[in-house]
Chain A
Amino acid sequence: MTTEKKTEPDELIHIPPEMAIAEADVRSEEAGEFVRGSSLWRDAWRRLLKNKLAVFGLVFVIIITVASIVGPTLIKRTFGFTPDYIPSHDLRLTKSFPPFTGPDGEFSWAHPMGTDNAGRDQLARVLQGGQISLFVGIIATLVSLLIGVTYGAIAGYFGGRLDDVMMRIVDVLYSLPYIILVIVLLSMFRSQTPRGQLILLFVALGSVSWLTMARIVRGQVLSLKNQEFVLAARATGVSGPRIIFRHLVPNTLGPVIVYATLTIPQIMLTEAFLSFLGFGVQAPLASWGSLATEGIANISVFPWQLICPGVTMALTLFSLNFLGDGLRDALDPQMRTV
């Protein structure tokens, strides 16, 4: 199949051979859209399912999310370990075991990811870390969505000078070493409570990740705002903000979902990076980033302390990235960003 599908503006215009095949396909899809509105999403879903790596990503993301949520409880029920349970009654147990190993070096199902220095179950800790990492990723992405969509929609809808100024600001912000500023912010306003630090992280990460989103939404709104349905809404006296949020924003959903999917791993990576530097989530909360950082210290003796959270995180990011890529290809074969 050709990689690109282009609809020719004029039926009569010659379509180059490599696109001639796609032509019939495109036409039938277009015809379908008039019949049923959900066709776009159904087609996208069908295309997504054809993409093996994206399906793998989707499945893994679902598994890791569910495991992070119910996993710690499940482990507590079966083995009795909570993520911070230290077996202090037995000195033989308060040390780091390799994965699938019991106190005497025998095979054991008790700790599939081994234990940390205090004898805490790594699997439970990694799953609980997943809660934090995914939570930070999702909430900060929502923050960036909120800012980016609003900003982009306003710039695109009102256009003119306002648009010029707003987009110039985005250009300037783009060229800033924002991560450096985030570090300054986090180091200066270090919160005393883990919960406060978490909120600070959401704000800091969300407020630097909205730039691309704003650009995408603006572009979409610019191209949509002169279409009939918007003109009709305006003609019937619908107010500006209502047009933006009821008519324009919902129609930018496709690219926004795609980009949001790709923003989550980006933010999780940044959070891990900040945790590594000591500016991320604070103990007793732990994210994959902070667990891996703890593991680095013991890399030569207990490598599983780094590898288990590190690999879990890498696989999750890998899956999210492939899912985002797959969504992009499925929703809009024309859109290309890396």
Chain B
Amino acid sequence: MLRFIVRRLLITIPTILVVITLTWGLIKLAPGNFYSGERPLSAAVENNIREKYGLDKPWYQQYGKTMWSIIGRLDFGTSLRYEGQSVNSIIRRSLPVSATIGILAYALALVVGITVGSIAALKQNSKWDYASMAVAMLGISVPNFVLGPILVLIFSLTLYWVPPSRWNGFPSRNLILPVLTLSVVYMAYIARLTRAGMLEVLGSDYIRTARAKGLSEKDVVIRHALRGGLMPVISYTGPALAFLLTGTVVVERIFALPGLGNYFIQASLNRDEPLIIGIVAFIAITLLLMNLLVDIAYAFLDPRVRYQ
């Protein structure tokens, strides 16, 4: 197991380097510059800026400097737009916002998705099964930036149940709509995965054995079926994290939340190069580590899986 973790980490590090290099390369290859705005600058001013940000140096020196400060010191540099703020401090400030929404949304999705999916599997081909799976498909098909404003329209602007937006810490009623908006897609996916996984397991020989033992249907499901039936959900958690990131971007923009995603879009629109690289690198690292965690969890949950 330990060897597996070490080996995975050894693959993870070059992957992160590739991501950062790719992002850096895209930015450097792109036409124009962050300072080339609406008005053309005088040559002197431009030279000053280039010198200040080290742009006058050859590309490999710039690359080396960026990589060294990221890898060696975990320092992503200073934002170009948010004067004087380090990228690290922006990430530190915005991460809790995104993480809160993301974790709550995924937790909600797990609870609802597993429940709905299990019931659908247990009552396969019933009205409930068809209805819940159709709703799940709808959940997958409605873009969350359409869903979010519609929820706001219904629950905030018409029914006045919850406030429409703004970050107000945790816990707060302001979280309800963003979390719900973000959660719907995952609920839908998890419900479908759970249903498929449970159906597969419920049809398997060992469940027939469990029934032949005289266990009650409840025990058969909870003790014997659930574990195997939920394995697909565990595997899905890896990719889900990646989607969750894009989801938070949308939700943070709809509900004007100061999260990582919102900063990332701002940085992309403003061409705030250190902030872009910083957030991309941070996201890549998080994602890869989470994927590793999911794989480790998988090995613990399925005794047949042994990594070497």
Chains A, B in direct contact (C-beta < 8 Å):
yes
Is B245 within 8 A of A180, CB to CB?
yes
Is B141 within 8 A of A317, CB to CB?
yes
- For B232, the chain A residues whose CB sits under 8 A away are 338
Is there a chain A Cβ closer than 8 Å to B264's Cβ?
yes
Is B245 within 8 A of A177, CB to CB?
yes
Q: How far is the CB of A177 from chain B (nearest CB, A)?
A: 5
Contact of A175 among B31, B146, B157, B287 (CB under 8 A): B287
Is A314 within 8 A of B146, CB to CB?
yes
Is A265 within 8 A of B141, CB to CB?
yes
Is B280 within 8 A of A175, CB to CB?
no
Once the chains are docked, how many angstroms separate the CA of A177 from the CA of B205?
A: 39
Is there a chain A Cβ closer than 8 Å to B70's Cβ?
no
Is A184 within 8 A of B23, CB to CB?
yes
Please choose the segment from B41-49, B191-199, B212-220, B300-308 that sits at the chain A interface, where 4 or more of its residues have CB less than 8 A away: B191-199
Q: How far is the CB of B94 from chain A (nearest CB, A)?
A: 15
Interface residues of B (CB under 8 A from A): 11, 15, 18-19, 22-23, 26-27, 29-31, 124, 134, 137-138, 140-143, 145-146, 149-150, 152-153, 157, 189, 192-193, 196, 199-200, 203, 205, 232, 236, 238-239, 242, 245-246, 249-250, 253-254, 264-265, 268-269, 271, 276, 279-280, 283-284, 287-288, 291
Once the chains are docked, how many angstroms separate the CA of A141 from the CA of B196?
A: 26
Contact of A296 among B29, B193, B254, B279 (CB under 8 A): B254
Q: How far is the CB of B55 from chain A (nearest CB, A)?
A: 16
Is A187 within 8 A of B268, CB to CB?
yes
The closest CB in chain B to the CB of A17 belongs to: B208
Is B268 within 8 A of A183, CB to CB?
yes
Q: Mark A153-192, 1 if CB is under 8 A from B, else 0.
A: 0000000000000000000101111111101110111000
For B15, B242, B246, the residue with the greatest tally of chain A CB atoms inside 10 Å of its CB is B246
Once the chains are docked, how many angstroms separate the CA of A53 from the CA of B152?
A: 30
Q: How far is the CB of A192 from chain B (nearest CB, A)?
A: 10
Once the chains are docked, how many angstroms separate the CA of A278 from the CA of B253?
A: 11
Which residues in chain A, 292-337, are within 8 Å of chain B measured between CB atoms?
292-293, 295-296, 299-300, 303, 306-307, 310, 313-315, 317-318, 321-322, 325, 336
- For A272, the chain B residues whose CB sits under 8 A away are 143, 145
Is B145 within 8 A of A293, CB to CB?
yes
Is B137 within 8 A of A318, CB to CB?
yes
Once the chains are docked, how many angstroms separate the CA of A184 from the CA of B29?
A: 12
- For A300, the chain B residues whose CB sits under 8 A away are 153, 157
Once the chains are docked, how many angstroms separate the CA of A180 from the CA of B30?
A: 16
Is there a chain B Cβ closer than 8 Å to A16's Cβ?
yes
Is A321 within 8 A of B137, CB to CB?
yes
Given the interface contacts A306-B150, A310-B146, A338-B196, does A176 sit within 8 Å of B264 by beta carbon? no
Given the interface contacts A181-B23, A296-B149, does A175 sit within 8 Å of B15 by beta carbon? yes
Q: How far is the CB of A173 from chain B (nearest CB, A)?
A: 9
CB within 8 Å: A-B pair count = 138
Given the interface contacts A189-B31, A307-B150, A336-B196, does A314 sit within 8 Å of B138 by beta carbon? yes
A contact patch SS = helix
Given the interface contacts A180-B264, A278-B269, A322-B137, does A310 sit within 8 Å of B142 by beta carbon? yes
Interface residues of A (CB under 8 A from B): 2-4, 16, 18, 53, 172, 174-181, 183-185, 187-189, 265, 269, 272-273, 276-279, 289, 292-293, 295-296, 299-300, 303, 306-307, 310, 313-315, 317-318, 321-322, 325, 336, 338
For B26, B29, B143, B239, the residue with the greatest tally of chain A CB atoms inside 10 Å of its CB is B143
Contact of B15 among A176, A188, A315 (CB under 8 A): A176
The closest CB in chain B to the CB of A289 belongs to: B143
Is B140 within 8 A of A180, CB to CB?
no
- For B192, the chain A residues whose CB sits under 8 A away are 338
Q: How far is the CB of A22 from chain B (nearest CB, A)?
A: 12
Is A338 within 8 A of B193, CB to CB?
yes
Is B205 within 8 A of A16, CB to CB?
yes
Contact of A181 among B22, B137, B150 (CB under 8 A): B22
Contact of B271 among A3, A185, A187 (CB under 8 A): A187
Given the interface contacts A177-B245, A177-B284, A322-B137, does A185 sit within 8 Å of B26 by beta carbon? yes
For A272, A277, A313, the residue with the greatest tally of chain B CB atoms inside 10 Å of its CB is A277
The closest CB in chain B to the CB of A176 belongs to: B19
Once the chains are docked, how many angstroms separate the CA of A2 from the CA of B281?
A: 48
- For B19, the chain A residues whose CB sits under 8 A away are 176-177, 181
Q: How far is the CB of A158 from chain B (nearest CB, A)?
A: 23
Give the top 9 A-B pairs by smallest Cβ distance, nearest first. Answer: A188-B30, A310-B146, A317-B141, A187-B268, A318-B141, A314-B142, A276-B145, A299-B149, A179-B246
Contact of B140 among A172, A279, A295, A321 (CB under 8 A): A321
- For A315, the chain B residues whose CB sits under 8 A away are 141
Q: How far is the CB of A168 from chain B (nearest CB, A)?
A: 8
